[in-house]
Amino acid sequence: MLNSTVMGYELLDHTSDLRVRVSGKSLSDIFVCAATAAMDSITDRSKVAPRGRVEIAALGETYEELLVHWLEEILYLVETKGMVFREFGVNEIRNNGVLGWAKGEAVEPDRHELYSEIKAVTFHNLKIEASNAGYTVEIVFDI
* Interacting residues with another protein between 34 and 53 (CB under 8 A): 42
What distances in angstroms separate CA 56 from CA 45, 103, 114, 132, one per listed residue? 19, 11, 22, 29
61 binds another protein (CB under 8 A): yes
Say how many residues touch another protein, by CB under 8 A.
Answer: 33
CA angle at 75 for the pair 28 and 105, rounded to the nearest 5°: 90
Tell me how far, at minimum, the Cβ of 22 lies from another protein, in Å.
16
* Interacting residues with another protein between 18 and 37 (CB under 8 A): 18
Q: Which helix (H) or strand (E) holds 95?
A: none
140 binds another protein (CB under 8 A): yes
129 binds another protein (CB under 8 A): no
